[in-house]
Each structure stands twice: as C-alpha cells, then as structure tokens.
Amino acid sequence: MAQKPLSHIGIIGAGAWGTALAAVAARAGRKVTLWAYEPEVADSINRQHLNELYLPGIPLDTSIRATTDLSAVSANDALLLVCPAQALRSVTGSMARHVKPGTPVAICAKGIEQATGKLMTEVVAETLPEAVPAVLSGPSFAADVANGLPTAVTLACADDALGEALVEAIGIPAFRPYLASDLIGAELGGSVKNVLAIACGIVEGRKLGASAAAALTARGFAELTRLGVALGARAETLGGLSGLGDLILTCGSRQSRNMSLGAALGEGRDLAEIIAERVTVAEGVATAPAVVALARRHNVEMPICEAVAAIVTGEASVDDAIGGLLARPFKREA
C-alpha cells in the first residue's frame, strides 16, 4: 500500500530548534502543532507569532498553533521530538498513550541520557514502542534555519517509505533532508559533536590557536568514529552531514551554545555561573560523562571526551585536562 502523505506535523518542544522546525514545516505547507513546556511560550506563539524566550525576533507563520496539552499529539501524522535529551524520557512517557501505533517519530534531540547511558533511539523504543523511529540531525543552527538560510541534514529511518514521506513532509529548498537508514550513526554524530564542541571552545577561550582547534577536531572525529563503529554505526554516516558536517559547524563557531560554553570555560569562568546565565541548553555538559561511560563499556578510547567530562564534573581543571592530553604517548594515527 502506498504511504499516505504526512500532512499534519506535531513538534514536541518549543525551544529554538523546535520553533525553527515548526517554521520549516509550515513553509513546506504542513499543518503544524507545536507543544511547548512553558505556557508563556505557547501563549507568545499563538498571540504574537513569536517565541521571544527561545528564538527572539523571528516572526513565525501565523498558521503554527502552539499548545501545552500533550494529548494534541494524537491528531498528528508524524511527530518531531525536539525537547532536550535529558527530558526526552519524561516527555515521551507522558505522551505515549496519545500516540497512534505506526506513527513516525523523528528524534531531533542531540544527546545521551546521563542516568542510563542510553541513546535517544533506545529511550524512544522503551517509551513509544509502537511508533516508527527516525533521526533528524545535521549542521543546523536554529536561527539560521528559521531565517531561511540553506542547509542539508540527515534523516535516518529504517522504513524507507516512511523516511521518504518524512523527507517530503519537511523538505524545502533551504532545508534539504538526505535519507539514510543508519539511525545509530545519525544520532551518535549529533550527540558526540556537542562534547567535542566544548573542547574546541576551550581551545578558543584559552587562545591555543587555530592549529590546535583543527587537530582537536580531527582527533575528535577519530573518537566519534571509533565509538560509532563499535556501536554498529556505518562509517559513511559518521563522515556525513550528521557526523562530520555537524562537527565542523559546531566546533568552528561561537554561535554554538556548546562551543561558546567551552570558550567561557577556557577563559577561566565557572561552569555553574555560565549555565545560570543561560536559558538555553548546552547538551554536551550532560552528555560528556554519558559518552565516557558508554565508551568504557565498549572498550573505546576517547581521551578528548574524557577530558571534557573531567572538566564539567569538576574532576579536573582546564589546565590539568589540557596538560593530560598533551602528555599522552605518541602513537600511530590510525
């Protein structure tokens, strides 16, 4: 039977990225319902067509309807999960009874659950077992996408027909989803690059130079690839938009929350203070220790991620972590 078009898209999470994806789906001609955690965010979207808290100054299509009622998901043909990784289990658990069996559910959060070390696909398999999972990930700053600047991303789905229907539902010339079937590879790239972006930020904040930043990004990519392959991901996914593509973006720009948080750490600022000043999430902070635990379970060496985890958990100072990386024995590159 031919896959019917996905005309009504439910977006779970009205932070910067959920709001940008709502803008994309509306531009693609879809009916969009956006679930917000905060009533004032839903109110601002419905009344002023703005999300002043998370995506300030960007006018939204007036057709986007916001709600705080999770039962609204039952009216959607497909769902995009865009809440922070550490909140995904509680949100999907609360909405589970409203999700129709067979609904495609695209994970857009980039992180690993700290309490369990589980990937978002595992969390969704446990909380929404009758949904069809997909992963949407790649180089995409919310403000760029909401402003209509072009990018391309990976959309991974094990069901080809549903994957194609999702691409049709949200793809527009300025937002080009490339279809893939490797969900683990697609989600792992986005999760690990956030940790590596903190490391690159530290290099920037400590003024260690552009050569150090490039070397760190390349060695970080080697770490990401080792872990991905150990978890069954395909190397070409890790070298694609959702892996290398997003790593280059996030490691290279202070527009990234993870990179700028690292830069502030590198400048000598205190982590708790940096976080307290922000309303937005920097996923790499919670994901760093989770990546390290996952890597140890699979006997994968990830010294840069270990260094970031040691810094964010307060086990090492920035200088000690940098010194530890530079003192590692020389070895073969591959």
Ligand X SMILES: NC(=O)c1ccc[n+]([C@@H]2O[C@H](COP(=O)([O-])OP(=O)(O)OC[C@H]3O[C@@H](n4cnc5c(N)ncnc54)[C@H](O)[C@@H]3O)[C@@H](O)[C@H]2O)c1
Ligand Y SMILES: O=P(O)(O)OC[C@H](O)CO
Residues assigned a catalytic role? 193
19 or 103, CB closer to ligand X?
A: 19
- Least Å distance between CB 227 and ligand Y? 18
Cβ–Cβ < 8 Å for 302, 290: no
Q: What is the DSSP string of 53-84?
A: TTBTT----TT-EEES-GGGGGG-SEEEE-S-
In sequence order, the 6+-apart residues with CB closer than 8 A to the CB of 175 are 24, 140, 145, 150, 151, 152, 153
Residue 16 among known ligand-binding residues: yes
Which residue in the block uniquely carries the two structure tokens 């549903």?
A: 162
Residue 258 interacts, among ligand X, ligand Y, none and using kind-specific CB cut-offs from 5 to 8 Å, with ligand Y
Which residues 266-295 are close enough to bind ligand Y by CB under 6 A?
283
Supply the minimum distance, in Å, between the C-beta of residue 160 and ligand Y: 25
Q: What is the DSSP secondary structure assignment for residue 96, as one 8-state letter? A: G
Q: Which long-range contacts (CB under 8 A, 24 or more apart) does 41-48 make?
A: 41/14, 41/66, 42/14, 42/66, 42/67, 42/68, 45/14, 45/19
Region binding ligand Y by CB under 6 A among candidate stretches 155-163, 204-212, 226-234, 246-254: 246-254
Is 310 among the annotated ligand-binding positions?
A: no
Q: Which stretch binds ligand Y (CB under 6 A): 175-183, 233-241, 251-259, 262-270?
A: 251-259
Q: Which residues of 99-130 are buried (b: 16+ CB within 10 A; e: fewer)?
A: beeebbbbbbbbbbbbeebbbbbbbbeebbee
- Tell me whether residue 24 or residue 295 sits nearer to ligand X (CB atom): 24
Nearer to ligand X, 108 or 224 (CB): 108
Site for ligand X, rule CB under 6 A: 13-18, 37-38, 54, 82-85, 87, 91, 108-111, 140-142, 280-281, 283
CA–CA dist 181, 141 (Å, integer): 23
CB of 244 to ligand X, least distance (A): 16
Task: Return the range that interacts with ligand Y (CB under 6 A); candidates 213-221, 228-236, 254-262, 287-295.
Answer: 254-262
In the bound complex, what is the minimum distance in angstroms from residue 13's beta carbon to ligand X?
5
Looking at the Cβ atoms of 13 and 189, the one nearer to ligand X is 13
Whole-number Å distance between alpha carbons of 278 and 5 = 39
Partnered with residue 107 across adjacent β-strands are 81, 135
Q: CB under 8 Å, gap of 24 or more: what pairs does 319-327 form? A: 322/202, 322/206, 322/208
| Residue 84 interacts with which of ligand X, ligand Y, none, CB < 5 to 8 Å by class | ligand X
Tell me whether residue 75 is annotated as binding: no
Phi, psi at 251, each rounded to 5°: -75, -20
Q: Is the Cβ–Cβ distance between 95 and 26 less than 8 Å?
A: no
Among 86, 92, 154, 256, binds ligand Y (CB under 6 A): 256
**Binding site membership for substrate: which residues?**
110, 257-258
- What residues form the annotated binding site for NAD(+)? 13-18, 142, 257
Annotated binding site for NADPH: 17, 54, 110, 142, 257, 281, 283
Instruction: Report the binding-site residues.
Output: 13-18, 54, 110, 138, 140, 142, 193, 246, 256-258, 281, 283
Which residues sit at the interface with ligand Y, rule CB under 6 A?
110, 139-141, 194, 197, 246, 249-250, 256-258, 283
